[in-house]
Amino acid sequence: MKSENGSLRQLIEKNYRLLAVLITSVLMAIIIFSSYQNDQRERSDLLMRDRLFSRLLNIERGEEGQFSTQAGWYQQEIERIDQRRKQETIISIGQLVFMITIYVVLVATIWMRSRVLIRRVIDPLVRMNGLVRLVDKEQFKEAYLSAGRYDEIAKLLGTFIKISQDRESAEIEMQNAVLEAMQANSSKSNFLATMSHEIRTPMNAIVGMVNILEEAENGEKVLNRCEMLSVIKRNGDALMTILNDILDLSKIEAGKMELYQDGFDLYQLCSDVVDTFQVVANERGLEIKMLYGEGVSYSRLGDISMVRRVIMNLFSNAVKFTSQGHVILKVKALPGQSDWVRIEVEDTGKGISPERIDDIFNPFTQEDDSITRQFGGTGLGLNLCKELVKFMGGKLSLTSAIGRGSTFCADIPLAIEVISTDALVAIKKAKLNFLSIKGVKILLAEDSEDNVLLIKTYLERYQVELDLAPNGAEAVEKFKTTQYDLVLMDMQMPVMDGYTAVETIRKIEQDMSKGHTPIYALTAYAFRSDKERSQRVGCDGHISKPVSKELLVGTIKDAISPSDMITSSS
């Protein structure tokens, strides 16, 4: 009997556990209870509940539920539970709406931020990739980028592109500079070769003619002696022209060129230039002439040396490159500008191609190499003319066409001189022509024996008394014991230079109460600073080498002539 009860008990417990598992697995609130009558009242005992039911009724774990209530209590409890669930459902819907709102906001925010990310990061990166490809291919002009206000990557890339473009520009400029330097170097090399030819050619003629004259025995006649001397002089003048061109360009580049304002006769200057080329023009069958405009004043103020160089170079250039036809020098007044003069040199030569007009004024440049071979020249003349005209405040231009010739036009400011320069110059020349330098006592301080011989030869026929000193120290000693009418002082000498010697002589005059003796500086320097320095130490004048006989004699006459002299007898 006991065994049967035990088996039954085990079966009940097994079924109970199975039922508990099933109740726990079902997602519903489940309770199991039994009803019975007790004390005339219906009572119920709780047999089983699940966790969800316990949570709904707030039954703590471990409580044994037995509910003593009236019949149908569970319906009331269930209704209470349903009411509570409805409230929780309402609360859950509000929470759900809130969560959905949060979700929508989050999604919208993420979408907006993603658009910003695409616009500010991804798109610029894509553009950067494309632009980097262009930069890598050195297609800098196509690599253009516009950056927005907050587009930092685009701005960074724009800076990168600008750096790349600047680098390309710098490389192009460097390549152009290298090319220009190579061209300039080539031009200078050609110039040096041409210069060597232009210098050696007249030097060859000079040295050759001198050798022929030296080989002649004393008293023996040399055929064409005058012609040989003419060759020597002509080639010497050509050398001086080349050297003067080089020196003038050097002075302009160094900023040492000086502008003098003196009165001169423009008509006479132009006439002299044309007359200089008359013989050459006749030999070549060219017609050369001057057309001086009506109403153009003759007397002008300006740098006569620069004006002469410009006109001489332009006219010489025209004669050289014109094989037939004419070369005309025209002088005109600019309308409404009486202080300006237009000087034109017109020729009927071969002309210059339009693309070469700008280059023709560059240094060391001629139209082509055949010009140099055929006509010679250094290629400095036109460049020098341009620089001289510019230095005087004017402008040089050119109009030309192949086969029609060329016209060079120089507009130069030359103020009208109120006092007639011609009359003053004529009076001065007349005075000096009547003045004799016979017996004039001159101290020559010169260390070059060749220059001493040259000056002695110049003055030999004038019967002057010439005393020589090879350096400044000996010149000072001679001056202490002898009274001279004039001192010619070379400024670069050994032992004591000319500047120190002149200062010492002026001090001797003061200490010994001697009268003022004119001192003229002899120097190869031609800068104004050198002249000013010689004047500061006490020189009365300045003679630049090479010294011509006319300049030397004229300077001596001018130095010894009284300032108030009207006439003079020999």
> Do residues 165 and 158 make contact, with C-beta atoms less than 8 angstroms apart?
no
Taking only the tens place, the pLDDT of each residue in 376-400 is 455 677 888 888 899 999 999 999 8
Percent of the chain's residues with pLDDT above 90: 19
In angstroms, the CA 468 to CA 354 distance is 59
Taking only the tens place, the pLDDT of each residue in 14-31 is 776 776 666 666 555 555
At residue 124, does pLDDT exceed 70?
no
* Average pLDDT score over residue span 251-277: 84
- Model pTM greater than 0.75? no
The per-residue pLDDT for 489 is: 94
pLDDT level of residue 476 (50, 70, 90 thresholds): very high
Q: Where would I find the H helices in 482-547?
A: 498-512, 528-537
- What radius of gyration do the chain's Cα atoms show? 57
Q: How many helices (H) and strands (E) does the chain have?
A: 17, 15
Amino acid at 451: N
> Do residues 231 and 207 make contact, with C-beta atoms less than 8 angstroms apart?
no
Taking only the tens place, the pLDDT of each residue in 127-156 is 666 666 665 665 555 555 544 444 555 566
Domains of the chain: 2-71 (no CATH), 145-257 (1.10.287.130), 263-416 (3.30.565.10), 435-560 (3.40.50.2300)
Taking only the tens place, the pLDDT of each residue in 536-545 is 999 998 888 7
The per-residue pLDDT for 367 is: 52
The least confident of 96-100, 154-158, 470-474, 557-561 is 154-158
